[in-house]
Amino acid sequence: MARHALTGQSPPRLTETIVFAETVHRALAELSNGSPVFTSCDRSHKPLQGHGHAHILCQSNRGQGQDGQGEITHITVYAPVGFRFPEQWALHRLKEIYDEKESGVQLALLGLGRPEDFGGTDQEKNECLLLAKSRSWISRTPFLPTRHPKVTRAGVPNRDARGLQIGSPEHDLGRLLRLAGFPDPADVEPVPCTSSGGRDVPWHAFIRRREKGQGKPAVDGAGYGFRIRFAEPVQGPVAVGYGGHFGMGGFEADEIDNIAGIPHDRYG
């Protein structure tokens, strides 16, 4: 993975994560001369299977307090398959991002490594809650389901052995976590919003659709948030659902007992 800090006068806000991540994606594809790790397609333009290609995750450090306006302060480019020299060279060259209005954002590479090298709670050291290891995780960007709730012919919700409606957001979250290699959560609790720029930000305030690309969210396109707890600590990042490679469905460590040494709930 690679971690960059954003600099400049007008960085995008966390609510614009999916748009900014798409812009970063296009820049890395160009800088790497079309590396499949960044394009998510092979050389014949066939989409890659699995989730080994790059995820672009956005973080807002200042947005946790009253000072900022919820701006994106860092990006993390994470690929389970790793980065070879061409991808590493592109990540080193990723220094400016321009949107359609030619408004520029500068980036500074903080380092390359593994998630555990950057996970933690000390923002002064540029540590990242998205990359921590924890039993408990809470939504930072909206989870966008890809399936729809199922009902019987009589219109009754079709439920699984645990009583969850099949295809509901909570059920789809569990399915996608398993596909990503995570264990089943021991507990899942809905949360209505995140905190950014010193205020509560509901999930509908986020841009939730990609401008281009394949795949689509469930019909209503609504966003959801959850606190999920695992029986044992899991290593971040945790990002699933529609747009998961573009910053959506991102969770950050909530109870970080395995990092600080003392159980601590940041939202409790």
Over residues 34-90, the pLDDT tens digits come to: 898 898 765 665 655 656 689 999 999 864 444 578 899 999 999 999 999 999 999
Measured distance CA(149)–CA(131) in Å, rounded: 31
Question: What was the pLDDT predicted at 261?
Answer: 39
**Residues 237-248 pLDDT 10s:** 999 999 999 999
Provide the residue range defining the domain that includes 137.
Answer: 2-260
What confidence tens digit (pLDDT) does each residue in 170-184 have?
999 999 999 999 999
Residue 25: inside a domain:
yes
- Please check whether residue 197 lies inside any domain of the structure: yes
The answer to the question of residue 34 being in a domain is yes
pLDDT at 15: 95
> 138-142, 170-174, 197-201, 216-220: lowest mean pLDDT where?
216-220
Inside any domain, residue 265: no
pLDDT above 70: percentage of residues in the chain = 83
Give the pLDDT mean for 126-141: 92
pLDDT at residue number 181: 92
Number of domains in the chain: 1
Torsion angle of the four alpha carbons 212, 83, 45, 207, in this order, in degrees rounded to the nearest 10: -10
Average of pLDDT values for 106-125? 88
More confident residue, 9 or 183: 183
In this prediction, residue 262 carries a pLDDT of 35
Statement: residue 124 has pLDDT above 70: yes
- Give domain status of residue 267, yes or no: no
Amino acid at 254: D
Residue 158 inside a domain? The answer is yes
Q: Residue 32 domain-assigned?
A: yes
C-alpha dist (Å) from residue 116 to 2, 128, 149, 185: 12, 10, 36, 21
Cα distances (angstroms) measured from residue 132 to each of 116, 182, 207, 252, 253: 7, 15, 26, 8, 6
pTM: 0.85
- CA–CA dist 227, 254 (Å, integer): 8
In contact, 253 and 132? CB cutoff 8 Å? yes
Q: What is the pLDDT of residues 210-234, one digit of tens each?
A: 876 655 665 567 899 999 999 999 9
**CA pair distance 237, 131, nearest whole angstrom:** 5
248 contact partners, CB below 8 Å, separation of at least 6? 17, 18, 141, 142, 143, 144, 206, 208, 223, 239, 241, 242
pLDDT at 101: 56
What share of the chain has pLDDT > 90, as a percent?
A: 57
- 268 occurs within a structural domain: no
What pLDDT does residue 215 have? 58
DSSP 114-177: -HHHHBSS-GGGT-BGGG-EEEEEEESS-B--SS---B-TTSPBPB-TTSPBTTSHHHHHHHHH
157: Cβ–Cβ under 8 A, 6 or more apart, which residues? 149, 150, 151, 165, 168
